[in-house]
Amino acid sequence: MISMDDKSVTANGRSYALPRQPVVVLCIDGCEPEYLNQAISAGCMPYVAELRQRGLCLTADCVVPSFTNPNNLSIVTGVPPSVHGICGNYFWDRDAGAEVMMNDPKYLRTGTLLAALADGGAKVAVVTAKDKLRALLGHGLSGICFSAEKAADAQLATHGIDDVPRRVGMEVPSVYSAGLSEFVFAAGVRLMRSERPDIMYLSTTDYVQHKAAPGTDAANDFYAMMDGYLHALDAEGAVIVLTADHGMNAKTDAFGRPNIVYLQDLLDRTHGAGTTRVILPITDPYVVHHGALGSFATVYLSGPVDVMAASRSIAAVAGIDAVLGREEACVRFELPPDRVGDLVVISERLSVIGTSRDRHDLSGLDAPLRSHGGVSEQQVPIIANRPGRALPVGRRWRNFDAFDLALNYL
């Protein structure tokens, strides 16, 4: 999987030049391009605005399902889920007859390029907002890796660093706050000044993006905060590439009421209870801000339901964008077939998919529902603070080309 010479490292079939100056790749969770457009127009991002003259801006496609973990893992491995195996937060283990959470590194089918670069001699640091990603991002990595959420628990032996809140100069924020992402940026700047890693990966949380639309005060405040930290990283001489794990859209009608297709209820009515199982791979232990509702679902057929009949009944429902069989879905979206159901269902831009009405607690939603997961959230920005050289013409950029861009083209 991994080979190296003194100038480059090959990981998962792709070659990366070893960095000559510090490289920072940031994954801004839920960063629909419009957040940046609006914040720049409002004068909230003077540093990023300046990159129009001396940097680079591309539009890239993320991995579908446009969820956090599949995309973060794609960015740090440089390959899609068909190779690394992480295609959501959950899959249905048919043999075990149980929903299995995929945030354990044992589900990762390949090494990360972060680990490869560290093995090639680079000093690597990783900071993630939520702890659910830490073990996956840090798998096999000799270097620094901790989450903002559990920053106080970081130990030298296990995380490559300790005493993090004091070093960063911030209290550990609530997991449901803009502060959790700010801690990631602040830690990144502090690490750049104190440790000067060759490679740093910073991954935030989409708490703000789930609540606040582009151009709102809360969104612009977040991006203004981010702009300051990006400027500070630039001032330290870092090559910066910023991208996103996925976009974000309002999933409501014009009154702000959520458009929800309760897919399990629908299938139970049409084909009988117990014949199908709907899995929502967005489901995770932190559901308050989206009620476990996203635009991607996978359906396992267990009874005498035929695939065509189930597809037809789902496709006929308002709000559904596409219903694909496993094979077609896995080819189109580069997913691992053994972790995908018989059907993949994607909803339209303004709609989300639920299981059964009684399984979603919407009481925690204190703002009109915004979410992601579908093809409608696939386009994300890639911004760099260098203009790039010899960029391939007409290339379809993916967010998981971020390290390729940073190391091979800037």
The Cα 287–Cα 289 span in angstroms is 6
CB-wise, 272 or 285, nearer to Zn ion?
A: 285
Closest contact distance (angstroms) between CB of 5 and Zn ion is 35
State the nearest-atom distance from the C-beta of 281 to Zn ion, in Å.
Answer: 12
Contacts of 362 (CB under 8 A, 6+ apart): 258, 291
Nearest approach, Cβ of residue 245 and Zn ion (Å)? 4
Whichever of 175 and 267 has its CB closer to Zn ion, that residue is 175
For the purposes of burial, counting CB atoms within 10 Å of the CB of 313, is it exposed (0-12), middle (13-18) or buried (19 or more)?
Answer: middle
**Contact residues: Zn ion, CB under 5 A:** 29, 68, 206, 245
Nearest-approach distance from CB 118 to Zn ion, in angstroms? 25
Residues 6 or more apart whose Cβ sits within 8 Å of residue 278: 263, 264, 267, 297, 298, 299, 353, 355
Compute the distance between CA of residue 26 and CA of residue 127 in angstroms, rounded to an integer: 10
Which lies closer to Zn ion via its Cβ, residue 22 or residue 373? 373
Q: Within 10 Å of residue 385's Cβ, how many Cβ atoms?
A: 22
Smallest gap from Cβ 30 to Zn ion, in A, equals 5
Tokens standing for residue 377: 């959230």
Minimum CB–partner distance for residue 286 and Zn ion (Å): 11
State which residue, 210 or 271, has the beta carbon closest to Zn ion. Answer: 210
Between 108 and 244, name the residue whose CB sits nearer to Zn ion: 244
C-beta of 68 vs 74, nearer to Zn ion: 68
Q: Is the dihedral of CA 365, 289, 320, 313 positive or negative?
A: negative
Taking the least distance from each CB to Zn ion, the nearer of 198 and 206 is 206
Bridge partners (DSSP) listed for residue 146: 127
Contact by Cβ (8 Å): 398, 373? no
C-beta separation of 400 from 74 below 8 A: yes
CB of 271 to Zn ion, least distance (A): 32
Residue 344, strand partner residues: 298, 324
